[in-house]
Amino acid sequence: MDQTLTTTILYDDDEIRVIWAPADSKIVLITFGDAITPAKDHRFFADTPLRKSQIAAIGVMAKRANWYPSENLRRASQIILETIADYETRVAYGGSMGGYGAVKFSRLLAATHVIAMCPQWSIDREECDGRDPGWQQDFIPSMRGMAIRPADVAGDVFIFADSYNAIDDFHCRKIVETCPDAHFIKVPRVDHHVTTVFAGAANLRALIDGALTRDMAELRRIARQIRKSHWRWQSRILQYAMRRFPRLAASYLAGSDNRDLLRENWRYFPQLISHLAQTAGAARAIAFYEEYASLIPSPAEQLLIGAFLASVTGARIAIATTHDSALVYDVSENRAIHKPGPLAPWEFLVEAEYHGAEVTLLATVGGTRFPLSVTENGSLAFESKGRRESMGFELIQNTDDEFTLRHNAKYLSAMRMGGVACDRDGPYRWEMFRFRPFGGASAP
């Protein structure tokens, strides 16, 4: 649905934008955006879960990491207050810089409740007794004296943060010192990702209900339940377990199908591959790599972990094409082709070898490595007098686990009938490659 049909920009200046999203609800949320998501069109923080929950909202969005200049908020406050005049229950809500805004301007906007995720008290170092309060890259002299004061705060204030994060803990404790009635609900082992962990319509609705009833036991239960079900918390616990109980942790991660958790912890894939090879066999280890290799962030790292897989399981790592085939060097014809099936005795997988920013393609025949060059007609072959510069390829990562291979502005292509040539001006489907296992210990 076009959001502009249901939302209105109430206020707009050089620093902030205010959006009104009406709904048939008894409460209104006043949300503040974070520092990394600047104002754009009619979007605002938490607009999607609020629309799903049919809760009226005022979205206050910053146009940069400006920590909501007070003068701009004062100018906007008149039209905000006029718009929400009929709402007795007003919940200010935000995370990080948005959490600061929710607490800082709660009295200005007559909030009855505040839900703030890992908010800041001030990023003015002079107000923090010389301590680094973080976010100094965003601090400018006009922010001096920006700290949250008792006169700024209204309503029941609920702060959620990871007390093990030293900077977030500092800010939350300063806010509680400023507002002794504020409630600090700890969300351990999620770092500065509380807002992400608590995202979603159901979680937001649960937090609002707990805040409105002031049920602290329920809010702590909700926070604990949300935290423990989120992959970020699981990741922190996993990293601890990998140090203390590596076999148990590897077993847990190997059995997970949570792609976010696996992506965050791809560096543990060697441990997982080793664990699977020992406990479930080489085929299971190979299948794991094939299913999750796309979560490894770069082709170089995919190849590195693939090489480890080969050493553990006997698998070979192929350069796979979009045709579900592999690049192969045919000795009898001295040229590279691509094919899907088992290799003939005179065929060898084309391998990749990194040299800084360049990649050399080669084939290992009888224990000797033969680098392959781009010939005058664009084919890939071994040339005994081939120049070094004719061998290097630029490997360019595309989406997921795919990449292209470029040499002298031309892309390597796996053509439909099995040929391979470096003669394409642009990377299309036939120019996409990826690393994948090719057979195992019993492969020919």
Per-residue pLDDT reduced to its tens digit, 250-275: 888 888 888 888 888 898 999 889 99
Among 289, 314, 339, where does a domain finish? Answer: 314
Residues 329, 288 within the same domain: no
Q: Looking at residue 235, what is its pLDDT?
A: 79
Question: In terms of domains, do 329 and 304 share one?
Answer: no
For residues 326 and 444, what is the distance between their CA atoms, to the nearest angstrom? 14
For residues 154 and 104, what is the distance between their CA atoms, to the nearest angstrom?
Answer: 9
The CA-atom distances, in angstroms, between 345 and each of 121, 318, 412 are: 70, 17, 25
Regions of the chain with pLDDT less than 70? 1-5, 385-390, 400, 439-444
Instruction: Judge if 62 and 26 occupy the same domain.
Output: yes
User: What confidence score (pLDDT) does residue 348 get?
Assistant: 95
Separation CA 30–CA 218 (nearest Å): 23
| Predicted pLDDT at 60 | 98
pLDDT at 259: 87
Residues 63, 33: contact at Cβ < 8 Å? no
**443, part of any domain:** no
Pair 96, 183 in one domain: yes
User: Is there a contact between 313 and 285 (Cβ–Cβ < 8 Å)?
Assistant: yes
Of the three residues 265, 297, 314, the one that is the final residue of a domain is 314
pLDDT given at position 228: 84
Q: What's the confidence (pLDDT) of residue 252?
A: 80
Query: Hey, is 78 helix, strand or coil?
Result: helix
Cα separation, 346 vs 62, whole angstroms: 64
Q: What is the pLDDT of residue 212?
A: 96
Q: 207 and 274 share a domain?
A: no
The answer to whether residues 350 and 328 touch, using CB atoms and an 8 Å cutoff, is: yes
pLDDT number for residue 230: 81
Tell me which of 276, 299, 314 is where a domain ends. Answer: 314
Q: Are residues 207 and 248 in the same domain?
A: no
Same domain for 216 and 272, yes or no, is no
Domain annotation covers residue 374: yes
420 is in which domain, residue-wise?
Answer: 317-438
The one-letter code for the residue type at 95 is: G
Residues 208 and 143 in one domain: yes
Note the pLDDT of residue 400: 65
Domain holding 84: CATH number?
A: 3.40.50.1820
Nearest in space to 327 (alpha carbons), one of 340, 315, 337, 335? 337
| Residue the block writes with tokens 């992506």 | 263
* Cα–Cα distance measured from residue 436 to residue 431, given in angstroms and rounded to the nearest whole number: 16
